[in-house]
Structure 1
Amino acid sequence: MTGTVQERLVDSAYALGWAALRHLPEPAARGLFERIADSAWRKRGKRVLQLEANLRRVRPELDEAGLRELSRAGMRSYLRYWMESFRLQTWNPEQILENVQVKGAEGLNAELATGRGVVIALPHMANWDSAGAWVAACEGHRFTTVAERLKPESLFDRFVAYRESLGMEVLPLTGSGVSVIGTLARRLREGKLVCLVGDRDLSEAGLPVDFFGEQTRMPAGPAALALRTGAALMPVTLWYDGPVMRGVIHPEVLPPEEGDQKEKTVAMTQAMADVWADGIREHPEDWHMLQKFWLADLPPRDPAAQGQTQGQGGAS
């Protein structure tokens, strides 16, 4: 089977699933995705095992039985993200307001009202697409974000069209010929909103941070953009609470008074990571990190890759 045929099959499968799930009753869709999550969890594939390795850092006090139950809840939360994303286009503003409840919007609105740009930075918690839909539909802020390029290209185009229908401007992380960092900086200088998912370093050129007592890397993008443009950097945490997704827009992470640009960027990124760690510690099942994350789990760093894409932070 050629790659082209495989890509067409993948795209067709997503298109059919997208269309079917939009018309399923909510209880039926939720039950279906819980069964899919439980099936994947029982098979203990690489992604489930990696999820457990990551959660072991978050909750080291758990025994193996407790860790297994947490990873099961984590898989259900992860599949709920996909179920909601497939159905989100059918929600009207009233449904979004009912299903997504976020505290701290007054700080965000106050900054934007002065004409100052804002960088919202999120980890891979709960449903960041729902949070984006809430910002656009309920708070009235169109914003710019970044997306990893998917294969096949037609599937990536579907996700971009889907996110743009929710009120987002989506910049491909690679392959567009457009300066991602330059465009984001321009939006912020115009007093607009930029939202980035920034807990996983995609470039191998991220900044070192301590996260749950171990070293990892996170993208420099959110903090570097805030420093470069004078925008406010505001971290967000999200979690599921029964049928509702809740979130908090935390106060601005201020740059330190001392240090050069790089030192300030590192300090702000660490402060942002500390906010996220507190949220993940409270709701570990809603942190969807099924990939290798800590340096101890990653292959040795390629020096040639360093600096090539420094400063990027994106939304997956």
Structure 2
Amino acid sequence: MAKAAQDAPFSLRERLEDAAVALGLAGLRRLPFRWRVPVAGWLTARVAAPVLGMRRRIRDNLDLVCPGLDAATRARLEIEVPDNMGRSLIELFSPADLLQLAGQTPFEGPGLAALEAARAKGRAVVAVSGHFGNYDVFRAGLILRGFDVGALFRPMNNRLFNARYEAAIRATGEPLFPRGRQGFAAMVRHLKQGGLLALLIDQHMGHGARLRFFGRPAFTALSAAQMALKYDALLVPIYAIRQPDGLSFRVVVEEPVPHSDDVTMTQALNDSLEARVRAHMGQWLWTHRRWKEPRTRA
């Protein structure tokens, strides 16, 4: 059924959405990168966010997990969150500029030495982050530093847009592993060969474990910890944090999560991400339905 859906003719909606994206990208690419990024952020925050209901989703999530926030902070986050989304998106679709940016980005943190030691020994690494800052900056930066980086990604629902999306992320670096059976098999081979796997774990996973994130139940995939245990891989939280100028980053590599059991290790990853988000509230994707309950079978 999935293959039949992929082979079906493109729908009018797919064509219209992709045409809108293509038009927007073409216009933005006429600007120098240092202007392109803030303009994309402004358009997303001031034009797209109100139309697409992003502000309502941000407010709903903040009401759920941060009910004590004052009105001024909430209003600021309704702008900062989509602004970071727009900046990250145009950075992704500017792969040559993204690679140059990543090459100029400093890497720091207590886990950096362990990461480099793992590479020297040929030990596999599972590097875990979230939809925070711009995760493609740390992926590109690791590649430029000589790491064999593979990344798991979720194909977009719009097949025309997905072709653009895949082309952009492949221009930054490969291999890439789409979610699914074939992608998982290739991902495992990459780890067995001592590669570094980049994962994001902050999306709702209905079949995941009922862990905590911002003090609320958040169903989280255990796969990062499970693979680290099975293949004796280093499990390292890593974050590309956007700096106050809105254009530059710093990458922080935290201490590796000690091997114990998959639930304890994954909760440590959630706690790590929560601390980063609390320090930079506008850089996380508050438009996600992170705290929804899984569907129950009848």
TM bucket (normalised to shorter chain) is: 0.7 to 0.9
Amino acid at match of 1:275: S
Measured in 1, the distance between the counterparts of 2:265 and 2:114 equals 18
| Cα deviation digits, residues 130-165 of structure 1 (max 9, x gap) | 22111112x122311121121332322222222122
Measured in 2, the distance between the counterparts of 1:31 and 1:48 equals 19
Out of 225-234 and 24-33, give the one that drifted further: 24-33
| Cα deviation digits, residues 29-67 of structure 1 (max 9, x gap) | 234224313324873753222222323456443212321
Q: Which residue of 1 aligns with 2:251?
A: 247
Q: 1:183 aligns with which of 182, 186, 192?
A: 186
Shift of 1:227: 1.0
Say whether residues 1:301 and 2:295 are aligned partners: yes
Q: Which residue of 2 aligns with 1:54?
A: 61
SS of 2:106 mapped into structure 1: strand
Compared with structure 1, are the counterparts of its residues 88 and 57 closer, same or farther at alpha carbon in structure 2 (3 Å cutoff)?
Answer: farther
| TM-score (normalizing by structure 1) | 0.82
Q: Which residue of 2 aligns with 1:217?
A: 219
SS of 1:124 mapped into structure 2: coil
Compared with structure 1, are the counterparts of its residues 155 and 142 closer, same or farther at alpha carbon in structure 2 (3 Å cutoff)?
Answer: farther
Say whether residues 1:14 and 2:55 are aligned partners: no
Q: Which residue of 1 aligns with 2:236?
A: 234
Measured in 2, the distance between the counterparts of 1:207 and 1:190 equals 28
Shift of 1:289: 2.9
SS of 1:134 mapped into structure 2: helix
Q: Which residue of 2 aligns with 1:274?
A: 271
5+ long unaligned stretches in structure 2 = 1-8
| TM-score (normalizing by structure 2) | 0.86
Q: Which residue of 2 aligns with 1:64?
A: 71
Measured in 1, the distance between the counterparts of 2:146 and 2:25 equals 26
Compared with structure 1, are the counterparts of its residues 43 and 27 closer, same or farther at alpha carbon in structure 2 (3 Å cutoff)?
Answer: same
How many residues align? The count is 286
Does the 8 Å CA contact 1:22/1:86 hold for their aligned counterparts? no
Does the 8 Å CA contact 1:145/1:196 hold for their aligned counterparts? yes
SS of 1:274 mapped into structure 2: helix
Provide the alpha-carbon RMSD of the alignment.
2.4
Q: Which residue of 1 aligns with 2:203?
A: 200
Compared with structure 1, are the counterparts of its residues 271 and 237 closer, same or farther at alpha carbon in structure 2 (3 Å cutoff)?
Answer: same
Q: Which residue of 2 aligns with 1:106?
A: 113
Say whether residues 1:283 and 2:248 are aligned partners: no
Shift of 1:236: 1.4
Shift of 1:124: 0.7
5+ long unaligned stretches in structure 1 = 257-263, 305-316
SS of 2:54 mapped into structure 1: helix
Measured in 2, the distance between the counterparts of 1:53 and 1:289 equals 9
SS of 1:24 mapped into structure 2: coil
Q: Which residue of 1 aligns with 2:5?
A: none
Measured in 1, the distance between the counterparts of 2:230 and 2:71 equals 46
Amino acid at match of 1:279: R
| Cα deviation digits, residues 242-289 of structure 1 (max 9, x gap) | 231222111111122xxxxxxx11111001111111111101110113
Q: Which residue of 2 aligns with 1:173?
A: 179
Shift of 1:300: 4.9
| Cα deviation digits, residues 280-314 of structure 1 (max 9, x gap) | 110111011312111xxx2552348xxxxxxxxxx
